[in-house]
Amino acid sequence: MNFFKAHQDDLAQLTRQSRLRQLQGRRGADFASNDYLGLANAPRLRQAVIEAMERGVPVGAGGSRLLRGNHPEHERLEAEAAQFFGSESALYFSSGYAANSALLASLPQRGDLVIYDALVHASAHEGIRLCRAECRRARHNDMNDFAAILKDWRQAGGTGQPWFAVESLYSMDGDQAPLAELVALAEANDAVVLVDEAHATGVFGPDGRGLTAAYEGRQNIVTLRTCGKALGCEGALLCGSQVMRDFLINHGRGFIYSTAPSPLMAAAVRAALQVLVHEPERRTRLHALVTVAKHHLRPLGVLFHSSQILPLILGEDARTMTIAKHLQHSGFDVRGIRPPTVPVGTSRLRISLTLNVDEADIAALARSLASVL
């Protein structure tokens, strides 16, 4: 008996649709990672881990934070992160996915309303699936739609707490949320704003504090700061009020029932925050590469929103993967993105700029892309 026939049929269908995912190694110049500031292999971070090991910090936590897994390195990181980002408190999670899903699954209560942007990350959708509040989808970056949904809910008798869930910088399109308008709408309606700063932390704002830096410290702002992208490490920090932190420690299942992140990784994240302060030239260099890429890639149809994420929307799944494979064989690690990660009909190359490439790499990528297109 074939116990996995349904699964095999599903995989066969994905193959016919050119949507079968497969793991593949790194190949060529890095135009695929989220290591925007080139910190994943930075000597300063390696040294921070070595020094932590030398002072006896363990590799593994040994348990969840509520059992024996809580380590002084976790608490030092949370204290320093709260100070750095200007929040009342911070809580360290094993991943951005865990943090985002726990946040939305735990904080909004029955009788509340969550309005989320249509393009929020899959981890937010996981939290929304588990959420006890009513959840409604708003058109991407459309504050009029956010306001209309909230008004309709109130007129229908909704009396709970409104919550807005957005990304400050969207991971597949590279565009920014209209945060000033969103915060103003929240202030006028006593709403809480949940902002995923995954792709903005380290890259934008004073000292790399992200696009919400001007709003941090407000009681109705909660931000997610992933540590595995521009910070070059692993895990995620939720920054917000002390009540938020205490509530998640007591009700956030993704936090309560997960083994704590490695204390060594907490030490590395602390070092990465210091790099943001003391090496601003990394951000300057990255933004300069964005300008160079704009010159070379915009004529080929690549979209620009003044960020390091550059999509080339091709539409067809098979064509997208064929072009991605050609670029990889030509020495450029560019990956194709297909549904369900992006909407049907918008398969794309997601070109990511990092300090792991230079101007010559960008010019060469443009020549190869022009050739295959």
Partners of residue 321 on adjacent β-strands:
none
Q: Write out the catalytic residue numbers.
A: 34, 121, 167, 171, 196, 199, 229
SS3 state of residue 244: helix
Please give the class, per CATH, of domain 57-277: alpha beta
CA distance 41 to 53: 17
For residue 222, the Cα-to-chain-centroid distance in whole angstroms is: 14
> For 62-103, what is each residue's pLDDT tens digit?
999 999 999 999 999 999 999 999 999 999 999 999 999 999
pLDDT at 27 over 90: no
CATH of 26-39+280-372, one of 3.30.70.60, 3.40.640.10, 3.40.50.1950, 3.90.1150.10: 3.90.1150.10
User: Is it the case that residue 18 has pLDDT exceeding 90?
Assistant: no
What would the mean pLDDT of 211-231 be, rounded to a whole number? 95
Q: How confident is the model at residue 23, as a pLDDT? A: 81
* Of 11-20, 118-127, 291-300, the least confident: 11-20
DSSP string, 148-181: HHHHHHHHTT--S-EEEEEESB-TTT--B--HHH
Listing DSSP states for 67-135 in one string gives III--HHHHHHHHHHHHHHT-SEEEEES-HHHHHHHHHHHSS-TT-EEEEETT--HHHHHHHHH-SSEE
CA 204 – CA 213 distance, rounded (Å): 9
pLDDT at 111 over 90: yes
Q: Give yes or no for a cis peptide into 340 (omega within 30° of 0).
A: yes
What is the distance of C-alpha 265 from the center of its chain? 18
Helix (H) or strand (E) holding 213: none
* pLDDT above 90: residue 19: no
**Model-wide pTM > 0.95:** no
Residue 114 pLDDT greater than 90, yes or no: yes
Cα–Cα dist 115/191, whole Å: 10
- DSSP code of 275? H
> β-pairing, 113-117 with 347-352?
unpaired
Helix (H, G, I), strand (E, B) or coil at 279: coil
Each residue's pLDDT tens digit, 256-282: 999 999 999 999 999 999 999 999 999
The full set of domain ranges for the chain reads 26-39+280-372, 57-277
**To the nearest 10°, the Cα dihedral for 47, 48, 51, 56?**
-140
Q: Tell me how far apart the alpha carbons of residues 102 and 307 are, in angstroms, rounded to a whole number.
A: 28
How confident is the model at residue 171, as a pLDDT? 95
What was the pLDDT predicted at 213? 96
Pairing of strands 89-93, 236-240: antiparallel
Distance CA 227, CA 48 (A): 15
11 token code pair: 């995989």
Closest CA to 309 of 223, 209, 225, 204: 204
pLDDT at res. 24: 85
| Residue ranges of E strands in 168-306 | 192-196, 221-226, 236-240
Cα–Cα distance for residue pair 280/285, rounded to 1 Å: 9
